[in-house]
């Protein structure tokens, strides 16, 4: 279920979908997103751009937490200190959270920095900086026995060729050897992709 931004309260941090920290008020927020354009120089004219890559969102929030919140009734509890410790624990445990701000809700947020100057024992103004994280997953694939045998044979042929080689090979011989190695590499990669069930460009790699 999508979580809507909060327009009438402070910043909220969710961990595994449950409230982890709620500020009494948000003093300020700054949201930013940049894009990276890669380019290459040419002999005449301006550089040529070949990729335009939007970067992940970064944002900062300054929040206020006190020992006299309207929505909390517990006495003798240090809410500001607890909030600061909870934020530090997110960094120590490298935990990604969902952050609900005034204008947007962000998932997979990493807490980059946190600072809290102390001027009042019963309240704390905490400045936090966040960055979205784009997660990827890895997959282990068993390499078929025939692929492994091919790698062993290729390694043996390379050693034999090196042992029997006398003098410096010609440019034609080097080009032919490079072409043979490229063909062999493509064949091995095709076997690996087929074993993993990966399809590239609509056909098996």
- Non-local (6+) Cβ contacts of 21 within 8 A are 12, 13, 83, 86, 87
Give the whole-angstrom CA distance, residue 119 versus residue 121. 7
Residue 202 is given by DSSP the state T
- Residue by residue, DSSP assigns 65-93 as EESS-TT----S--HHHHHHHHHHHHHHT
As a whole number, mean pLDDT of residues 31-59 equals 89
For residue 182, give Cα distances in angstroms to 27, 46, 152, 174.
60, 35, 16, 12
50-64, 70-84, 140-154, 169-183, range with greatest mean pLDDT = 50-64
3-state secondary structure 110-163: EEEEEECCCCECCEEEEEEEEEECCCCCCCCCCCCHHHHHHHHHHHHHHHHHHH
102 DSSP 8-state letter: S
CB 155 within 8 A of CB 163: no
Name the most confidently modeled range: 3-7, 40-44, 77-81, 168-172.
77-81
For residues 156-177, average pLDDT? 61
Q: What fold is seen in the domain 12-35+51-132?
A: Elongation Factor Tu (Ef-tu); domain 3 (2.40.30)
Q: Note the pLDDT of residue 145.
A: 74
Give the pLDDT confidence of 46-101 residue by residue, as tens digits: 888 888 888 999 999 999 999 886 556 566 788 999 999 999 999 999 999 999 99
Question: Whole-model pTM?
Answer: 0.60
- Kindly tell me if the per-residue pLDDT of 32 is higher than 60: yes
Quickly state the pLDDT bin for 192 (edges 50, 70, 90): low
Band of residue 9 on the pLDDT scale cut at 50, 70, 90 = confident
Q: At what angle do helices 145-164 and 171-196 cross, to 10 degrees?
A: 170
Q: Give the per-residue pLDDT at 202.
A: 47
Spans of all domains in the chain: 12-35+51-132, 145-204
């Amino acid at each position: 279920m999508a979580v809507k931004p909060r327009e009438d309260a402070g910043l909220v941090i969710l961990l595994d979908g449950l409230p982890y920290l709620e500020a009494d008020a948000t003093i300020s927020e700054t949201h930013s997103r940049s894009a990276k354009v890669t380019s290459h120089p040419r002999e005449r004219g301006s550089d040529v751009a070949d990729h335009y890559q939007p970067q992940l969102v970064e944002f900062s929030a300054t929040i206020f937490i006190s020992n006299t919140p309207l929505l909390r009734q517990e006495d003798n509890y240090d809410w500001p200190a607890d909030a600061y410790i909870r934020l530090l624990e997110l960094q120590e445990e490298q935990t990604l959270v969902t952050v609900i701000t005034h204008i947007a809700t962000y998932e997979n947020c990493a807490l980059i920095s946190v600072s809290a100057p102390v001027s009042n024992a019963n309240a704390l103004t905490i400045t936090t900086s966040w960055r979205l994280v784009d997660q990827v997953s890895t997959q282990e694939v068993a390499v078929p026995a025939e692929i492994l045998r091919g790698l062993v044979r290729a390694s043996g042929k390379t050693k034999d060729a090196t042992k029997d080689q006398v003098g410096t090979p010609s440019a034609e011989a080097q080009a032919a050897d490079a072409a043979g190695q490229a063909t062999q590499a493509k064949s091995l990669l095709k076997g690996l992709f087929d074993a993993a069930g990966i399809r590239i460009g609509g056909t098996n790699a």
